[in-house]
Structure 1
């Protein structure tokens, strides 16, 4: 019994010493901040194309090859129908050009000097119309790291055709102040397209077509702090002419200064409204 009591006394003393030593540690030194893991920077390809542009199908083929190579998680392509070779449509033929698309077009090519197609990669490269070089340009920026990640969750009410999308931006490195942009794009649109031989193809299938900017043409201000998630939610009623099963949401954060100039894209993500086979949850 005496030995047992001795052990209890020693144990009690040790616990008291440990408690005393812990109480002497400053409050700010008791927890070690673990920096979030690095994340890759996906690449946004803004493809300025047009239904009356005979070389645009060639550019589309190059972009499709890039997306196939790297995957939609790493490369998000958006076809922005716009400019002098865009098509507004007629009573008999659907046009894919939009007012917002034209505003994006003139931001980079105010004097319509570029011709079409041309692209911008993550808004950090100059507009480039040499589609033969697009794959090599992308390969030079695909391995960059980002200061935040973007996540998208979609819900859809078929009766009201209302899309509800929740976008979260998680900070991984420092504080990012910029703009959050949310777009709706659609695949599988059968519409007129001028082909490289100059002929019109009324059965052409257009994919990743820019349809609308959910939160304004240039998005809205957002601040994302390291280790924290900033969340925004939006609702949008899909027009009856759009096929819900082919709709996706594209969301990205980009830098902008006090003059509202467009800066480079911090990160981008894409999420189908209806989950496709093999698609991973983002």
Structure 2
């Protein structure tokens, strides 16, 4: 009798849940490699959002429980705080505390009182937060396609939409009793963002997720490009709930430089009028094609140290990775991250900012274009012991847009060791934010000195020797507008030897600055002093001292000359005489008393120089040594 009663009870339980619907956006694929954290705060969390249209379709149905998957159980008291709410910042409808006994498994939250959906809610959020140490990754994703306005995470005291972070969906699931079948497709982030050159063979795809509760077997893709519209019908499909589906976009003309607007709409899902919510079925973007001859270089900054036993191997790994990719890569080696040494410059400790944990640094390490590739690291820096990590980071950085072309021009007076640097930045495309910086580094090759596991005469190459700007972060640029030329110039004197203020042995901390082995590296990119994941180098280039490098996509030579004349003149002193590089109509030299003096055999001192070029006067104070 007891067995029969148990069987009946089991049937009743099954019957009571036969019409229950598990709603969410994530596949049930749980992979420990998909754990992550955002920002530097101890408080972390995730939430998913249901739209007004979906809630209207579920009107009168009840939410009785939800399930969550988290990446670590090392939270305060091994608990997470769960909630159901109409806003992420207000008072929840329901909330509770759950114990995390095991990470990477579903944790069930049964509401004390089931919530009945009214259909009047603008939206509903269900999620969790917890306090957790900075060395643990609490958040979980399925690495599917990003969908806008559906997945959120708690970062640095605020909730943020994770759309565009390449995370996919949070592993959060809601049980809705007696829900009818829903047909719902949500278009995801498509790969129109990227670096494309005119004439390239480009493959473009769009993807969407089945956010309903029934399989999708057909849909139409309506594509509008430059005013022309095409419709492609897809049938005989079997896209299961929570699965993503990708399809190609054809008929895109890549032959012309510049921008093309594109709009893609998913329509007639499972037939006309069948879909619950069509408000999230479209995506609009802009395709941009850079000049066919566009030149782009990647900046690889390594972190090393003379006392680091694994660094010689790391140097070889970096060299091998650069060679294997075949990309144009400019390398700079910062002697920081392990221990300060003979080559550590005053700016170097600033770059520890890029480590995942600034109190626990390591070497050998590297970052490429200061990008954070989430599949490899939580910060821009990766372990250089792994060639695969280096390769992945290089390939990822190469997909990002360069925005600009650079022209780096240097002149060197070897007798005085005076170096003049001019940098011109020509934007092809307007940068969509106003927090960019440019900087100019000095780099030296061929320095023979001690290296742990490398001997006393190890050759140190690409050694960072400080900034020409005199600033670790460089100069801020608020406006990078397409076609608007930016120019900058500075003259410095390179000392006979460069001193490290961090190396304790005063008898050994001067390194000869050999001019023929030195070069200048210039770059421009995004900057955020509070978040090391919001950095990327747009483009960079390098020139040996006294030489120049104009990237092929910069402009025609006549355009460059015109830009130089409009922006600045190179005024310098040679053998006691003021010289001007460039076309000008009048040159006058004055002493500090205001008296005009002859421009020949000038005595040591400070002078005021006035140059008229193109109807404009330039005034500059110069020093005759």
Verify same fold: TM over 0.5.
yes
* Gap change, CA 1:70 and 1:236, over 3 Å in 2: farther
Instruction: Compute the TM-score of the two structures, normalised by the length of structure 1.
Output: 0.74
Does residue 86 in structure 1 map to residue 358 in structure 2?
Answer: no
Which of 307, 319, 333 matches 1:52?
Answer: 307
* SS, match of residue 82 in structure 1: coil
Q: Which moved more, 1:182-191 or 1:221-230?
A: 221-230
> Following the alignment from structure 1 to structure 2, what is the Cα–Cα distance between the partners of residues 179 and 251?
11
Match of 2:351?
104
> Following the alignment from structure 1 to structure 2, what is the Cα–Cα distance between the partners of residues 184 and 143?
27
Does residue 123 in structure 1 map to residue 394 in structure 2?
Answer: no
Does residue 272 in structure 1 map to residue 544 in structure 2?
Answer: yes
* SS, match of residue 204 in structure 1: strand
Q: Deviations over 1:124-156 (max 9, x none)?
A: 122111432212331233244311112211110
Q: Deviations over 1:173-198 (max 9, x none)?
A: 11464101111110111111111xxx
Match of 2:447?
189
Instruction: Compute the TM-score of the two structures, normalised by the length of structure 2.
Output: 0.35
> Following the alignment from structure 1 to structure 2, what is the Cα–Cα distance between the partners of residues 228 and 69?
36
Deviation at 1:281, TM superposition (A): 5.2
Match of 1:250?
521
Higher-Rg member (1/2): 2
Match of 1:224?
480
Which of 484, 492, 495 matches 1:236?
Answer: 492
Deviation at 1:57, TM superposition (A): 1.1
> Following the alignment from structure 1 to structure 2, what is the Cα–Cα distance between the partners of residues 86 and 180?
26
* Gap change, CA 1:131 and 1:40, over 3 Å in 2: farther
Answer yes or no: is the 8 Å Cα contact 1:186–1:207 preserved in 2.
Answer: yes
The gaps in structure 1 that reach 5 residues or longer are: 1-33, 88-94
The structure that is helix-richer by fraction is 1
Match of 2:437?
179
Does residue 142 in structure 1 map to residue 398 in structure 2?
Answer: yes
Deviation at 1:218, TM superposition (A): 0.7
Q: Deviations over 1:101-126 (max 9, x none)?
A: 11212453554424211111111122
Deviation at 1:53, TM superposition (A): 0.5
* Gap change, CA 1:100 and 1:258, over 3 Å in 2: closer
* SS, match of residue 224 in structure 1: coil
Answer yes or no: is the 8 Å Cα contact 2:352–2:358 preserved in 1.
Answer: no
| Runs (4+) off by over 4 Å | 257-262, 279-282
Q: Deviations over 1:170-229 (max 9, x none)?
A: 10011464101111110111111111xxxx611001111100112111101123321132
* Gap change, CA 1:161 and 1:270, over 3 Å in 2: same
Deviation at 1:257, TM superposition (A): 4.5
The structure that is strand-richer by fraction is 2
> Following the alignment from structure 2 to structure 1, what is the Cα–Cα distance between the partners of residues 491 and 314?
33
> Following the alignment from structure 2 to structure 1, what is the Cα–Cα distance between the partners of residues 307 and 530?
34
Answer yes or no: is the 8 Å Cα contact 2:408–2:549 preserved in 1.
Answer: no
RCO comparison, higher one (Cα < 8 Å, 6+): 1
Q: Which moved more, 1:123-132 or 1:210-219?
A: 123-132
Q: Which moved more, 1:262-271 or 1:186-195?
A: 262-271
Superposition CA RMSD, Å: 2.6
> Following the alignment from structure 2 to structure 1, what is the Cα–Cα distance between the partners of residues 421 and 549?
17
Q: Deviations over 1:60-85 (max 9, x none)?
A: 112223444556x8211110001342
* SS, match of residue 457 in structure 2: coil
Answer yes or no: is the 8 Å Cα contact 1:190–1:203 preserved in 2.
Answer: yes
